[in-house]
Amino acid sequence: MLHDSEDHNQTSEDQSSTDKNWWRGAVIYQIYPRSYQDFNGDGIGDLVGITQRLEYVASLGVDAIWLSPFFTSPMKDFGYDVSDYRDVDPMFGTLADFDRLVQKAHELGLKVMIDQVISHTSDQHHWFQESRVSRTNQRHDWYVWADPNPDGTPPNNWLSIFGGSAWTWDARRKQYYLHNFLASQPDLNFHNTDVQDALLREMRFWLERGVDGFRLDTVNFYFHSQGLESNPPVKPEDYNASTAPDVNPYNLQDHLYDKSQPENLEFLKRFRELMDSYPNTTSVGEVGDAQRQLEIMSTYTAGKERLHMAYTFEFLGGEFSAEHFKQAISESESGAAEGWQCLAFSNHDVVRHATRWGRHGHAEGAIKQAANLLLTMRGSVCLYQGEELGLTEADIAFEDLQDPYGKEFWPNFKGRDGCRTPMVWQAEVDNAGFSTADRTWLPIPEDHRAKAVDVQANDPESTLSAYRQMLNFRKSRPELIDGSIELVDAPDDILAFIRQKGDHKTLCVFNMSPESADFALPRAMSVRSLDAPGSVPAPNGDTLNLPAFGTFIGAID
């Protein structure tokens, strides 16, 4: 009996450890609530609609969902301008609707993660409404206020990502306030511990409601330099347009003082203490810093006192080439070895990767290969709604444009509406099954109908089937979940790496070019085929023959 008890205790401990680390190697499906499913027929998606579609999400084989903001908001930045952190905006439903969504997700085995937008609020939030009244009120320093220069100009040269100065004049206080985004999104002052305390209470509210984790928007924007030093120009050799589009002058500054400050590490420690008090919860941070993103990601996720994981814009832009991925993997393994990254190829802020990378006359092959690559690299994974269908970027006419970012830089940058169009469920139904409204908040591209869920669901050769098969395959190989990764020497257009955990070793080879190519197996390496979707068979000899955008995933004996 003692032996049986010891076995039982060990099993319980192993299970507890598994639950605690469910996020490590997990696949998280991002849902943009406005565009997933409209239940009440107003042309805008809502929480009840999402709940109705959770069976579909679970059928993909993902581990969790991430909900973009659904909080009370004037919607000038579509929910990323929060006016009440503790309530659901009426366009999305009610708190009771949210609770039912969480319950249904948990019944289906899905974790629920929600956005936390705490670097700034809406100017309609009562904290800001109080702060701007005077320089002596209770919350006078809850936001970043600064006196003008003697000539009345802003205190420094900091820029808003959405265009223009990051400072807006407030006539009541006769001061400028900081906003890294829209003028209606004033930045909170994290140097004030009362602000930190308040934000941690807001997050606790949702943990008490049963959420399993948070995605932290712009996590490196929380603190600014209190010296308010002007940013220097970026050196030409360090120029990088990964955080903002190339037409945006924001890229011309080296953002040394307006974000990514060292004080953030102490706040992240406080945040992690909160998360650790709720077992089995997790966090993923969005890092936007063109010159230092890898360094920040590594620092923010190292150890067990900060974020669980983070993602950068390394793969949310850039090119689909073996050279790019070799460099990114090498730099990540050498520069962020202690951290844990969350891999993403698309999300609600960037052009869909099916458009960015689906070229050379081999669009479908490249898209399926991207799925295999994303799901075999080292890290957790974020999939963006519609990615599994191979949806392309929509071309939105200016008169239909909603995104203020796009309106500012049109036509050279058309904003983010093209990746935010409604989900397509049924090809032959009005609004593709998304809504019964006469008009949806963004138009549904006609060419998306051919990629609707009902068209692809029963087609074993479809992109949707490829994602489902690959997600299922990933779960069968522990080395693909949280094993190590080692690059293998390969020709210029071929990316090859080995994933390993214990005795499990898998070789992954990708011909990332529109021409067929050969890959010579490393000396003395013996491989055998696995039931990996889209993989070519193992070779009879020592050379893999890969077609254009061909993939091999096999076991190393």
Catalogue the active-site residues: 217, 286
Q: What is the dihedral of CA 467, 472, 476, 480, to 10 degrees?
A: 30
> In the structure encoding, which two tokens stand for residue 422, read together?
């409604």
Asked if residue 444 lies in contact with residue 434, where contact means CB atoms within 8 angstroms, the answer is yes
Which residue from 364, 386, 368 is spatially nearest to 376, judged by alpha carbons? 368
What is the rounded distance in angstroms from the CA atom of residue 462 to the CA atom of residue 467?
9
What is the rounded distance in angstroms from the CA atom of residue 216 to the CA atom of residue 268?
11
**What backbone torsions phi and psi does residue 373 show, to the nearest 5 degrees?**
-65, -50
Other CB atoms within a 10 A radius of the CB of residue 509 amount to: 24
3-state secondary structure of 529: strand
Q: With the C-alpha atoms ordered 339, 342, 347, 353, is the resulting torsion angle positive or negative?
A: positive
Asked if residue 205 lies in contact with residue 71, where contact means CB atoms within 8 angstroms, the answer is no
Residues written for the chain: 557
Long-range CB pairs of 266-269, under 8 A, 24+ apart, other chains included = 267/190, 267/196, 267/222, 267/223, 268/219, 268/300, 268/305, 268/306, 268/307, 269/305, 269/306
What is the rounded distance in angstroms from the CA atom of residue 277 to the CA atom of residue 43?
40
Which residue from 298, 405, 444, 545 is spatially nearest to 78, judged by alpha carbons? 405
Query: Distance from first CA to last CA of the chain, Å, rounded?
Result: 39
What is the rounded distance in angstroms from the CA atom of residue 481 to the CA atom of residue 484?
9
